[in-house]
Structure 1
Amino acid sequence: MLKSNEKLFRIIELLLEKGSAGVTELADDTPYHKSTVYTHLQTLQENGWAFKSDGTYQLSLKFLTISEQIKNQRSVFQHGHEEIDSLANETGELSYLAVPEDDVVTILHYARGEKATLSVTAGATVPITEHSVGKVLLAFQSETDRSEIDEYPSSDVFMDSDADISEALEEARRNGFVVSNERDGSGPSIAEPDQSGPRSESHLTDVQHKTVAAPVLDDDDEPLAVVAVTGLSKRINGEYEERICQQVVRAAAVIERKLDVERSVPASNRD
């Protein structure tokens, strides 16, 4: 990456982190000279990516427009967001659609049911090897893509027993879904306790929760996305857990069918 671009992105990241900041503050938090920081801020301002108020700079809502456009361009979002909303209504839990991007999992869309004590943020990412939804992606990737799975460190994200990772992923492929237990604070997580509501459970720092996830596959049976539901482990068990597994798999299958229809339309038009 060009040094100038690297500096620009670092300044954007700092503004995002701080909310607002002046030239001196940004220069103090980077190895860049004040004149360099000022030049990049001026570039952002002139192009509508930032604005100045009371002597400090803030990122503009133009970034929001870009993120919405990127999301809406994704076919899996177009055909999947309504299913995620319905899943949240049906289960009452936190439901979300996540997609692989290189070696991370990114939240594309989410909805919170009435019982949800957890929350996520659209655009949030975690390493694909360190979250339960990543287990689904790894399980359904081609053999070539999964060639280095045995090198991944064993963790509770991949299994709830002493079985090796390959066996855990093979079981996920047989079932068509995964069920994983996670504990807040034990590592990277997409779902976090909701700190805003009145629910006392949402403010606990050591809450165990469970994720049920199923893949959305393309024509080559490669994973395009993951449909997931996350809730408190003490609630998601027994028959209720079985029902959620069925609902998650069904939602993923509906999204797949919608995508299949979309892909078939251009071919039928050519006929």
Structure 2
Amino acid sequence: MPNQQAPIGSVQTTMRIIEALRDLECTGVSELAEHLGLPTSTVFDHLRTLENEGFVTSDDDGYQVGARFLEIGGYARKQDPLYAVAEPEIQKVAHQTGEHANLVIEEFGKAVFYAKAEGEDAFQLDTHVGKHVHLSTTSAGKAILAEYPDEKIHAILDEHGLPEVTEHTVTDRDQLFEEIEECRERGYAIDDEERIPGVRCVGAAITGDDGRVLGAVSVSGPKSGMQDERFHQEIPDLVLRTANVIEVNMKYR
């Protein structure tokens, strides 16, 4: 969990502006100020500073997040051995299944899409590298939670809650813990239209020799193509095998 002591107000304001630019995609100063409930002059000063430093760009339509964030995020990911080891395996899974394959990590109580690949039958999803979602809404997120002690899970839920994303999202804590127990018994978790309507997903955690949770691998596809044995055995077996391969390769890298 992040340290909440001694926050610096100006930095918090800058981060709120950056996150709002991400959510609004491209916007003017006045619209952004109204969205955040901040003075227009304050927002303008922050935007100009961010633009001067190369983190924000602007045109006739307004301001948007710049590519320099991609440079920094790409550098951070490249330094992580997990990405180097897992990314080729994610590509293989996508090719084998024809679906979306994902590498997910947990940061500050949220699931982060760390790498993804699309098979030849994959359809368009809202996911992109760096996207943050609630752990409880994804198979990979639930697989990660299943590796944590109950006390840590409760702490994450106390902070982030169990928001309803679709009509199938698990919003009851007891039900979520029942699913976590099932995941602990069989080794994988499922997402049955819980984040995106019409999409099913199977995920398994990746752990290190010391038991530390490194992340999770998952496969997502349309409900029509994720039925019966494919959803309950074929994809789970592949996801579990992939997670194990990554774990072994991490050990001997």
| Pair in the same fold by TM > 0.5 | yes
Which residue identity does 2:133 align to in structure 1? V
Structure 1 pair 16–139 and aligned structure 2 pair: CA distance change class (3 A): closer
SS at match of 2:121: coil
Pairwise CA distance, 1:150: 10
Structure 1 pair 117–170 and aligned structure 2 pair: CA distance change class (3 A): same
2:32 to 15, 26, 30: 26
SS at match of 1:145: helix
RMSD over aligned Cα, in angstroms? 3.0
Which residue identity does 1:71 align to in structure 2? R
1:175 to 186, 193, 212: 186
Identity %: 29
Which residue identity does 1:132 align to in structure 2? S
Structure 1 pair 130–57 and aligned structure 2 pair: CA distance change class (3 A): closer
Pairwise CA distance, 1:82: 0.7
**Higher CA-based Rg:** 1
Unaligned runs of 5+ in 2: 1-6
User: Does 1:225 pair with 2:232?
Assistant: no
Does the 8 Å CA contact 2:139/2:204 hold for their aligned counterparts? no
User: Does 1:250 pair with 2:241?
Assistant: yes
Which residue identity does 1:31 align to in structure 2? G
SS at match of 2:234: helix
If each structure's helix is expressed as a fraction of its own residues, which one has the higher value? Answer: 2
Which residue identity does 2:152 align to in structure 1? D
User: Does 1:134 pair with 2:134?
Assistant: no
Which residue identity does 1:217 align to in structure 2? T
Pairwise CA distance, 1:52: 4.2
Pairwise CA distance, 1:126: 1.6
SS at match of 1:141: coil
Alignment correspondent of 2:129: 122
1:60-79 equivalence runs, <5 A:
60-79=66-85
Alignment correspondent of 2:252: 261
Deviations 1:70-92 (A, max 9, x none): 22222211111110010000011
SS at match of 1:80: helix
Pairwise CA distance, 1:218: 1.3
Structure 1 pair 46–210 and aligned structure 2 pair: CA distance change class (3 A): closer
1:134-213 equivalence runs, <5 A:
134-142=141-149, 144-146=151-153, 165-182=176-193, 189=195, 192=196, 207=198, 209-213=199-203
Does the 8 Å CA contact 2:138/2:190 hold for their aligned counterparts? no
Alignment correspondent of 2:4: none
Pairwise CA distance, 1:148: 6.6
2: distance between equivalents of 1:217 and 1:83?
15
Unaligned runs of 5+ in 1: 184-188, 193-205, 263-271
SS at match of 1:32: coil
Which residue identity does 2:142 align to in structure 1? K
